[in-house]
Structure 1
Amino acid sequence: MGTLLSQIKGAIAFLGYVVNTILWAIPILLGSIVKLIPFAPCKTAANYFLDFCASGWISVNGVIERGLHPVKIELSGDSQFSTQEWYMVIANHQSWVDILILQRVFNRKIPFLKFFLKQELIFVPILGLAWWALDFPFMRRYSTAQLKKNPKLKGKDIEITRKACAKFKTKPVSVMNFVEGTRFSKAKHQRQNSPFQHLLKPKAGGMAFALSAMGEQIHKLVDVAIYYPQNVPSYWDYLTGKLPSVKVHIQISDITPAMRGDYMNDREYKIAFQEQLNQRWLTKDRVLSELADQKHQE
């Protein structure tokens, strides 16, 4: 009976999220039309309105969650935030649920989170257009084979990153980057021969390009470690209440001058930046081990 009830609640919650998304997508898409007006004050006002709508969407999602499948989030680490600051947010990545957890943790505490998305996701019904309207950076990566076939594509993805991030210079923003590039799995961990216990190897390029493109406005780094005491949940697990709790550790630090540079052409900077990220990943790995130890002691 309990399982049937959780399935019914999950279905109701999913329907609630769909309806909530459609309702908020309407003003977001209408607001995006105003952004097309070639007048800077109109664009700025539209951006604030769009982010307000997006935060409202997340807030209502939170009401649905608390009513139908409540998740206890145990926070640790730093907790001083500002909605008037520019942030780069990085986190380990295990499930699409990570995004929902991050949105709940940071909603209305920092500027609305903008995620780097694959170019293909712009075709997702409703959400794709909403992400476009909200200036989510859509990225297109070119394979080695594509670059060999068409050398003119070299550097194209970097230029796309620069153009996307240039939009973030006029108002505070939080740019989210899963620097592992993909979700963690034991198979991927083994294929990489990862030196970390709980993490895949971090990829420095996207983060370095974003920092370079956004200039001096962004000078705070929010490093998040997400740990699921039970199994890593699927979206359906999340909807049906199979995610009772999650542990989230947050570390805020300054983005130093040493973290900015020409990742493409300065080899010394490229090596140094990757080493900085590797050291940060070692710290995150230790934090995740400590969170796992807390589970065993409970």
Structure 2
Amino acid sequence: MLAFLPSVLRIPLAMLLLLLNILLHVLPLFALALLKVVIPLGFVRRPLSRALVLIAESWIGVNNVLFGVFTRIRWQVEGLEGLHHDRSYLVLSNHQSWVDIPVLQKVFNRRIPFMRFFLKQELIWVPLLGQAWWALDFPFMKRYSRQTLLRHPELQGKDREATRKACEKFRHMPVSVMNFAEGTRFTPAKHDAQSSPYRYLLRPKAGGVAFVLDAMGEALHAIVDVTIVYPEGPCTMMDLIAGRVHDIRVHVRERTIAAGLIGSYDEDAAFRGRVKAWMNGLWRDKDAQAARMQPPTAGVGRGD
């Protein structure tokens, strides 16, 4: 609708409205979160948690409207049939850009339960957003480097304990737990450094997926396997806000959770091997799917 405006007007206006949307939703969200802290009673916390999710879904919904107004994105989304808002899912996706997050939110908002991402502990200090993520029960993870673990072996496994505790609170309500199994965004340099056997993906990490499956167990209905492709090439959040992203393709596949995928990843070497083999097979399928989603000609540039 407003994509025709020159960028010198369109970009500041879009950023202003996105900021106003944050403020309009974060303020009531903080007020309810404060009540949730002050009145730690289950019969009060549960309806407050539901109200917080409604605010977050409204926030995402308005963002989606704004991106629709200020951009001309051609969406190609396949595989959403059969998903439900009242079932719990583990969502697995490849990771190429921070744009992946608004893409996933647009595709799944109000279609499946509100998605929680595992976030680095440092992100809790992001103004407004960090505190909003905390209020919405996003699990924050403190990652320890190999050097830190060598100096402080008592920290070994602390991040996994945090994963388990974060998932425990989701066992009694519909939730979508989001996991970028590659652990980082795709770049050619990272791809080469890993000697990745996949053309469009980095190597997946099976541990985090295994811990979520073990912690939530039968509470999860299925795995939602998502493949995201940007046919024009790598993009940034500013590219999205500025309307320089014109084509986004998303493929969704619901996968059953086999009984053999639930077990002790740390203590059972045979189980660990099975989960890694399953993840590698899933990633081979995903790489083939990403190849099918590529445009017939590559290297399309972004205009304004």
Q: Give the TM-score, by structure 1 length.
A: 0.95
Distance, in Å, in 2 between the alignment partners of 1:215 and 1:177 is 16
Q: Is the 8 A contact 2:231 2:295 kept in 1?
A: no
- 1:135-176 per-residue CA deviation (whole Å, 9 max, x = no partner) reads 001011111211111111011111111111111112100010
Select the structure that is richer in helix: 1
TM-aligned CA distance change 1:250 to 1:294, over 3 Å: farther
SS at 1:213's partner residue?
Answer: helix
Residue 192 (structure 1) shift: 0.3
Distance, in Å, in 2 between the alignment partners of 1:274 and 1:10 is 44
2:11 partner letter: G
> How many residues are matched?
295
SS at 2:169's partner residue?
Answer: helix
Residue 41 (structure 1) shift: 1.5
Q: Is the 8 A contact 1:115 1:177 kept in 2?
A: yes
| Structure 2 partner of 1:209 | 211
Task: State whether structure 2 residue 85 is matched by structure 1 residue 83.
Answer: yes
| Structure 2 partner of 1:130 | 132
Distance, in Å, in 2 between the alignment partners of 1:209 and 1:265 is 12
Moved over 4 A (4+): 293-296
Distance, in Å, in 2 between the alignment partners of 1:28 and 1:256 is 38
Distance, in Å, in 2 between the alignment partners of 1:10 and 1:26 is 24
Distance, in Å, in 2 between the alignment partners of 1:109 and 1:65 is 19
| Structure 1 partner of 2:58 | 56
1:29 partner letter: F
Distance, in Å, in 2 between the alignment partners of 1:234 and 1:129 is 23
Coordinate RMSD, CA, aligned:
1.5
Task: State whether structure 2 residue 30 is matched by structure 1 residue 19.
Answer: no
Distance, in Å, in 2 between the alignment partners of 1:3 and 1:183 is 32
TM-aligned CA distance change 1:3 to 1:194, over 3 Å: farther
Q: Which residue of the other structure, out of 243, 246, 265, is the alignment partner of 1:244?
A: 246
Residue 262 (structure 1) shift: 0.6
TM-aligned CA distance change 1:294 to 1:34, over 3 Å: farther
1:211 partner letter: L
Q: Which residue of the other structure, out of 70, 74, 96, is the alignment partner of 1:68?
A: 70
Distance, in Å, in 2 between the alignment partners of 1:236 and 1:217 is 38
1:108 partner letter: R
Distance, in Å, in 2 between the alignment partners of 1:72 and 1:202 is 29
Residue 53 (structure 1) shift: 0.3
Distance, in Å, in 2 between the alignment partners of 1:74 and 1:295 is 17
Distance, in Å, in 1 between the alignment partners of 2:234 and 2:41 is 46
Q: Is the 8 A contact 1:9 1:239 kept in 2?
A: no
Q: Is the 8 A contact 1:179 1:202 kept in 2?
A: yes
Single out whichever of 91-100 and 33-42 deviates more from structure 2: 33-42
Residue 71 (structure 1) shift: 2.0
SS at 1:136's partner residue?
Answer: coil
Single out whichever of 91-100 and 76-85 deviates more from structure 2: 76-85
Distance, in Å, in 2 between the alignment partners of 1:7 and 1:215 is 51
SS at 2:75's partner residue?
Answer: strand
2:50 partner letter: Y
Q: Give the TM-score, by structure 2 length.
A: 0.94
Single out whichever of 192-201 and 38-47 deviates more from structure 2: 38-47
Task: State whether structure 2 residue 35 is matched by structure 1 residue 34.
Answer: yes
2:27 partner letter: I
Structure 1: gaps (5+ residues): none
What does 1:1-20 correspond to in 2, within 5 Å?
A: 5-20=6-21
Q: Is the 8 A contact 1:180 1:200 kept in 2?
A: yes
| Structure 2 partner of 1:269 | 271
What does 1:277-288 correspond to in 2, within 5 Å?
A: 277-288=279-290
Residue 270 (structure 1) shift: 0.7
1:149 partner letter: R
TM-aligned CA distance change 1:253 to 1:294, over 3 Å: farther
Structure 2: gaps (5+ residues): 299-304
Single out whichever of 205-214 and 32-41 deviates more from structure 2: 32-41
SS at 1:52's partner residue?
Answer: helix
